[in-house]
Amino acid sequence: MRLNGGEALIKSLEMMGTEVIFGYPGGAILPVYDPIIDSKIRHVLARHEQGAGHMAEGYAHATGRPGVCMVTSGPAATNIVTPLADAYLDSVPLVCITGQVGLAAIGTDAFQEVDTTGITRSITKHNFLVTRAQDIPQAIRDAFYIATTGRPGPVLVDIPKNIVDAGNPDAYFEWEWPETTDLPGYNPELPLDHDAVAEAVELIMAAERPLLYVGGGVLKSRGAEILRQLAELMNLPVVTTLMARGAFPDSHELCLGMPGMHGNYTAITAMQKSDLLIAMGSRFDDRVTGKVGAFAPEAKIIHVDIDPAEHGKVRQPDVAIVGDCRIVMEAMVDALRTAGGAESAADHSAWRQQLSGWQENFPLTYEASAPGELLKPQFVLEKLRDGCPADTIVASGVGQHQMWTSQYWQFDHPYTWVNSGGLGTMGFSIPAAIGAKAAYPDRTVWAVDGDGCFQMTAQELVTASVSKIPVKIALLNNAYLGMVRQWQELFYEERYSEVYLSHDMPDYVKWAEAMGCVAFRVEDPDEVEAVIARANAINDRPVVIDFRCHSNEKVYPMVAAGGSNDDVMVDPSQEALLVVAKAASASQNGEPS
Amino acid sequence: MTRPGDLSHHTLAVLVENKAGVLARVADLFARRGYNIVSLAVAPTRGERFSRITIVVDVESAPLEQITKQLFKLINVVEIVQLAPEESVERELMIATVQVGQEHRSQVVELVDIFEGKILAVGSNHLTVSLDGGPSKLDDFEALLADYNITELQRSGRIALPRIGRDAPRVAAG
């Protein structure tokens, strides 16, 4: 069977099981768009290449399978740089195909030519410039293998136009699917270090204040079930980072929720006071540790990560275990059972008591809106959480609304939370929600968005309408770039610089309707529940709800950037209690109070 | 000024797939993560498929372990051998042109003789000399040559192999 490079590219994607490509055609990639017409792969036409990239990410977050996106050369390639960087920082498996000018034109500053592999080198796990049509199947096979194994990540394959051009005799070759990958420098299958597991088990058995510090690696390894067994076997309290929400059920009695800059008081403080942090697929990100020198000063560290470079990058572990979290946890559970489980381990009862004391004293809280006041975003999220099916997928943009969603949603199932953690990409939620909904058309998918984020990628709602991917958008419209405003209020003496957006410019309802969505506006707290119910009943079109929110609301708790996690700013209503708690803790340590 | 002979410098012999852009990948990684390269030498080895990049790194800019682990994440990096100065045989080549009148020429020739270097070219007022050897020998020679007027000087960057009988730490893709 003789194929040209374009046909071979699409056939290779089919061979890798691709269901859907999120993309945008253009000059250099044109020859590849012709065979798409005859392929069983669905193509979703985004309205901006950045949207295509985030859709592929949303698909990958929700399914665990690699997201596939395809765009042309030049500006299309530069437009998809942001999703690639986002996927790189959050270890999202992505295969991105970019068109390139013909080989003879490379280096001549040809029309729509950029050095795509050069530009994306530091934000992809790997990239290829393919120079011969017959090399395309191997490149695609290798790209999927690299994207999905080891620490997952984005892989870009740059395809010059001449090797896919049906009019070029040299672009034809006898189709052959490679039996294996051809990557002598890449071996993600590492043997498990059983000695290290044994050392870890010893530390766990001896710890009095242990804590499982769970990161996105647990989700990437499909390790939620074994995590639960590990936690329950040893009665280990669990914190789930922003990237790991849903890896352990929020409703579980051992779950302390999210730590970090806007984590809850108990999760943050538990890390600070712990004597053993079991870091499971987490990377000691600065948003979790705060000031590194002051982070968890009494804790020994067991660090499990599939990427050996994470060990010692930020904090030197006492026991480092390289491996897939699920496989390492299986070995740990076996060894801990043999060692006698919780009954033979050190007593944690004082620790558990301390934790529940903090939980009781410092729950998440906010002040309800006074009559006539606009909505409180936390209230909207509580109503949304309670009004949606249990397996609802929720995506978010970046900023205050993201933190509130992470705080107030109850994540009881893995792969229901789609967000941009490492890169913090505003505008992520709408396209990412579309990608997740394309993967699971029968599930409810909400994007919680801010007004700043909405204005960055709202055009993808046209994609959602036209392609019949009916996502729902909860727009927490507070008329401001809320998180920036919060920092200006707290750290810049309330000098508000370039953060005002306005509640009604643009008119979000009209805008949403113009894009084919059903749109609602809610200002009254009493209407929130009913409008959410109406939105959830609509399944044939996207829905946008413009929730008019209070502008002054701040995200608490908060640890100031670069500050120590010992200095948590709590909700103003809890400040008095915090002073008492700190004094008690100081006198326990023998310090003058 | 730091020189390639410093003990805070370690040598990494990095076996890479000889693919387009592989040197840029390595150089990019150093730039992006803030690691300092002191010297760099690249040439094919073991046939056409592989090249060896010999990198002298400043381990004061980042721990050697981090540098090695991050490098090894590059898909085209096949093997890394860490060569501590005392466990490796290191060589470097220097060529230099010195402006020297007839009255001092014999002094330079004598210096080259002592170091067992070579005279590569002679002009009426210039000499081009070469010297190969360990980095500190080249440092010493360069310092002494500086008494004359050096108009051009080029060092090749270090290449190294493990000392026979020593087992240098290595990471390889199984």
Residue B43 placed within a domain: yes
Which run of H or of E encompasses A181?
A: none
Going by DSSP bridges, is the β-strand pair A417-418/A393-396 parallel, antiparallel, or unpaired? parallel
B164 in a domain, yes or no?
no
Q: How many CB pairs under 8 A join A and B?
A: 48
Residue A555 lies in a domain: no
Q: Residue B113's domain is classified under what CATH number?
A: 3.30.70.1150
- Contact by Cβ (8 Å): A547, A380: yes
> Do residues B82 and B120 share a domain?
no
Comparing CA positions, the residue from A14, A96, A13 lying closest to residue A54 is A96
Number of neighbours of residue A461 by Cβ within 10 angstroms: 31
For residues A322 and A392, membership in a common domain is answered with no
Q: Do B81 and B102 belong to one domain?
A: no
Note the Cα A6 to chain centre separation in Å: 32
CATH of the domain at B46: 3.30.70.260
What's the burial of A387, exposed, middle or buried (CB within 10 Å: 0-12/13-18/19+)?
middle
CB under 8 Å to A46, separation ≥6 — which residues? A22, A23, A24, A52, A55, A431, A460, A463
* A68 shares its domain with A124: yes
What are the per-10-residue average pLDDT scores of chain A (593 residues)?
A: 97 98 98 98 98 98 98 98 98 98 97 98 97 98 98 98 97 96 92 97 98 98 98 98 98 98 98 98 97 97 97 97 98 98 96 97 96 96 97 98 98 98 98 98 98 98 98 98 97 97 97 98 97 97 98 96 95 93 75 46
CA-based nearest residue to B53, from B74, B39, B67: B39
CB within 8 Å of A276: residues ≥ 6 apart? A203, A204, A207, A209, A210, A211, A299, A300, A301, A302
Domain extent, residue B60, equals 9-88
Q: Are residues A88 and A168 in the same domain?
A: yes
Which of A122, A126, A311 is opposite residue B75, by nearest beta carbon?
A126
Of A187, A308, A311, the CB nearest to B173: A187
Nearest neighbour of A185 by CB, restricted to B24, B66, B78? B78
Residue with tokens 């708690």: A581
What is the C-alpha to C-alpha distance for residues A445 and A433, in angstroms, rounded to an integer? 6
Q: Is the peptide bond before A297 cis (omega within 30 degrees of 0)?
A: no
Quote the minimal CA–CA distance from B46 to chain A in Å.
Answer: 14
User: Same domain for B104 and B56?
Assistant: no
- Contact residues on chain A for B25, CB-CB shorter than 8 A: 121
Please report whether residue B24 resides in a domain: yes
B46 at A interface, C-beta within 8 A: no
- Give me the tens of pLDDT residue by residue for chain B, a chain 174 residues long: 445 456 678 899 999 999 989 999 999 999 999 898 989 999 988 788 999 999 999 888 788 899 999 999 999 999 999 988 788 889 999 999 999 998 999 999 999 999 999 999 999 999 999 999 998 999 999 999 999 999 999 999 899 988 888 777 778 765
Nearest residue of A to residue B79 by CA position? A185
Residue at which a domain ends, from B45, B70, B88 = B88
A345/A443 same-domain check: no
User: Closest to B28 (Cβ–Cβ): which among A122, A146, A187?
Assistant: A122
- β B170-172/B37-45 pair status: unpaired
Nearest CA in chain A to B21: A118
Last residue of some domain: B70, B88, B106? B88
3-state SS string for A473-517: EEEEECCECHHHHHHHHHHCCCCCCCCECCCCCCCHHHHHHHCCC
Alpha-carbon dihedral of residues A466, A467, A471, A476, nearest 10 degrees? -40
Alpha carbons A478 and A550: distance in angstroms, whole number: 6
- Residue with tokens 């890394």, as numbered in its chain: B80
Residues in chain A with CB shorter than 8 Å from the CB of B21 are 117-118, 121, 129
Name the domain count of chain B: 2
Q: Which domain holds residue A431?
A: 377-548
Q: Report if residue A21 sits inside a domain.
A: yes
The label of the residue with tokens 């998440």 reads: A364
Q: Name the 3-class secondary structure at A206.
A: helix
Chain A contact for B75, CB < 8 A?
Answer: yes
| Domain presence at residue A186 | no
**Of B157, B97, B142, which is closest to residue B123 (Cα–Cα)?**
B97
Q: Could A122 and B29 be called an inter-chain contact, meaning their C-beta atoms sit closer than 8 Å?
A: yes
* Contacting B residues, span 2-31, partner chain A, CB-CB under 8 Å: 16-17, 20-21, 24-25, 28-29
Active site residues of A: 49, 111-112, 161, 483
Residue B166 within any structural domain of the chain: no
